[in-house]
């Protein structure tokens, strides 16, 4: 049986290309992500007009082996340039044919370029709704790569990219709904989401002191995970930097690096600047009163003052395991302090259920959550990993309750080892 979705896909591409080519008001964000990514021009950071559809484009985009065979019988498609390029002959015929295909309406609703056309053509779709549904270019790794290439090309910033870790939202594996959050965390995240959705309004009413969050909590409680999940949810590229990485033994360099990182974030806007190990600089300050250290701290505080979610589109998230090391000057620069407490029994159960969701076996996560008092989310991951690996050593895919309880015991021993002091004999 011929696969009827292939011709529909190719026709969607041809229609989208034609509509995009003819309407200068449409932007890259009006294209479906797969088409935009395929036609992305890295140097120009855009999708060049006109989009032309060659056989190899259709083949690559939709995994079609024989494009001619798939669409050759459609009366409104012709092959030009010695058969290499696909063209629409009768647009009217094409648009009616496409709208009648199975699943086409859903495609139009997720394709703003098509929706902009069809909503004026009597089809029950809306361009405004389609733009809400479509994924913006900021989500694409191609987009981030373009910006990174541009920054790398401006000579003096060459090593800048070595200081930071850039992540495109589409590459983030962690989903926010797969994290177990406290009520307070949920509320604060929702506030930020709203602030980002209403940047213009907040600017108009002059409320600019928004968008700097400090995450505090023990290792393994989900600080990095939330920052990444937010990047995915908000379609904002993530600029991750560990403060220890940009602190140089040549103290003058540290201040320079800090400025560079903040400049980079502004260039990548809209983005999330995630500064991990935020206490690192405070630590050096305690141990060393050298003037250059003070300068570095002041540079950091000033950089924080001068970056804004509302004006620059940069959401700043700093994270620390040692909030007590931060002085008031650092502390007061954040408008939201988000605590990451040790999960309580109910949260532990929810975390376990998420981690175990694809694991086969007969077990009771409730009981494990009660045994695992004091465990962090990351500890619970290790427990499950131990249980799964142990089962594998016995040639089992399904795990049992003893696999899990043993793993909890083993993990508790491990904590004991960590606390033990080794004195040389
Ligand atoms: N509340 C949670 N819900 C679900 N998973 C969690 C939670 N907390 C931690 N985890 C899991 O534990 C792992 C480690 O978490 P993460 O790296 O985010 O911790 P962290 O707070 O950044 O630690 P560190 O301070 O060491 O950097 C992640 O894989 C994450 O999925
Ligand atoms: Mg972390």
Confirm or reject: Cβ of 242 under 6 Å from ligand 1: no
CATH 1.10.10.10 fits 345-419, yes or no: no
Instruction: Evaluate whether 139-340 and 345-419 have a shared fold.
Output: no
**Domain ranges (residues) in the chain:** 5-135, 139-340, 345-419
**Centre of ligand 1 from the C-alpha of residue 141, in Å:** 24
Distance of CA 372 to the CA centre of its chain: 31
Annotate 18-66 with DSSP letters as a single string.
Answer: HHHHH-TT--GGGS-HHHHHHHEETTTTEEPSSP-EEHHHHHHHHT-S-
In the numeric block, the tokens 């427990």 are attached to: 383
Confirm or reject: Cβ of 377 under 6 Å from ligand 1: yes
Tokens of 385: 């990993």
180 neighbors 159 (Cβ within 8 angstroms):
no
List per-residue pLDDT tens for the chain, 425 residues long.
556 678 999 999 999 999 999 999 999 999 999 999 999 999 999 999 999 999 999 999 999 999 988 898 899 999 887 768 999 999 999 999 999 999 999 999 999 999 999 999 999 999 999 999 999 999 999 999 999 998 888 766 557 788 899 999 999 999 999 999 999 999 999 999 999 999 999 999 998 889 999 999 999 999 999 999 999 999 999 999 998 888 877 767 888 899 999 999 999 999 999 999 999 876 655 555 567 778 888 899 999 999 999 999 999 999 999 999 888 889 999 999 999 999 999 999 999 999 999 999 999 999 999 999 999 999 999 999 999 999 999 999 999 999 999 999 999 888 777 777 766 65
d(CA 150, CA 144): 10
Question: For residue 326, which of 264, 283, 296 has the smallest C-alpha distance?
Answer: 283
Bond from prior residue into 50 cis (ω within 30 degrees of 0) = yes
Q: What is the pTM of this model?
A: 0.90
**Centre of ligand 1 from the C-alpha of residue 372, in Å:** 16
Domain boundaries 139-340, corresponding CATH code: 3.40.50.300
Tell me which ligand sits closest to the C-alpha of residue 220: 1
**Centre of ligand 2 from the C-alpha of residue 409, in Å:** 25
Strands (E), 156-313: 165-167, 212-217, 238-242, 271-276
Tell me which ligand sits closest to the C-alpha of residue 175: 1
Which atom, in ligand 1's list, is nearest to the CA of 180?
Answer: 3
């Amino acid at each position: 049986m011929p696969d009827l979705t292939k011709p529909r896909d190719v026709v969607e591409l041809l229609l989208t290309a034609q509509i995009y080519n003819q309407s200068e008001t449409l932007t890259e964000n009006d294209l479906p992500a797969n088409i935009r990514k395929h036609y992305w021009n890295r140097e120009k950071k855009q999708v060049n007009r006109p989009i032309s559809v060659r056989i190899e484009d259709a083949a690559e985009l939709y995994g079609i082996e024989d494009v001619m065979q798939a669409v050759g019988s459609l009366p409104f498609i012709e092959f030009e340039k010695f058969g290499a390029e696909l063209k629409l002959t009768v647009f009217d015929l094409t648009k009616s044919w496409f709208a009648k295909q199975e699943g086409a309406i859903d495609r139009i609703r997720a394709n703003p370029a098509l929706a902009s056309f069809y909503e004026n053509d009597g089809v029950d779709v809306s361009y405004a709704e389609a733009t809400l549904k479509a994924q913006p270019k900021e989500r694409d790794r191609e987009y981030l790569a373009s910006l990174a290439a541009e920054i790398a090309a401006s000579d003096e910033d060459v090593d800048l990219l070595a200081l930071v870790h850039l992540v495109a939202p589409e590459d983030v594996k962690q989903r926010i709904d797969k994290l177990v959050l406290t009520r307070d965390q949920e509320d604060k995240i929702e506030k930020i989401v709203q602030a980002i959705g209403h940047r213009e309004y907040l600017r108009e009413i002059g409320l600019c002191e928004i968008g700097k969050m400090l995450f505090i909590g023990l290792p393994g409680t989900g600080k990095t995970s939330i920052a990444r999940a937010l990047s995915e949810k908000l379609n904002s590229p993530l600029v991750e930097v560990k403060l220890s990485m940009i602190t140089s033994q040549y103290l003058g360099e540290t201040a320079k690096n800090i400025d560079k990182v903040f400049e980079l974030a502004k260039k990548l806007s809209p983005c999330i600047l995630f500064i991990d190990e935020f206490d690192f600089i405070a630590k050096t300050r305690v141990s060393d009163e050298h003037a250059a250290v003070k300068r570095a701290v002041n540079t950091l505080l000033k950089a924080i003052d001068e970056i804004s979610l509302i004006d620059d589109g940069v959401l700043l998230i700093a994270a620390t395991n040692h909030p007590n090391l931060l002085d008031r000057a650092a502390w007061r620069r954040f408008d939201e302090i988000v605590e990451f407490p040790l999960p309580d029994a109910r949260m532990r159960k929810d975390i376990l259920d998420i981690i175990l969701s694809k694991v086969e076996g007969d077990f009771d996560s409730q009981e494990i959550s009660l045994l695992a008092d004091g465990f962090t989310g990351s500890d619970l991951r290790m427990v499950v990993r131990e249980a799964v690996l142990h089962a594998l050593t016995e040639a089992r895919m399904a795990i049992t309750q003893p696999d899990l309880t043993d793993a909890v015991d083993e993990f508790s021993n491990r904590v004991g080892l960590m606390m033990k002091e080794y004195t040389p004999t």
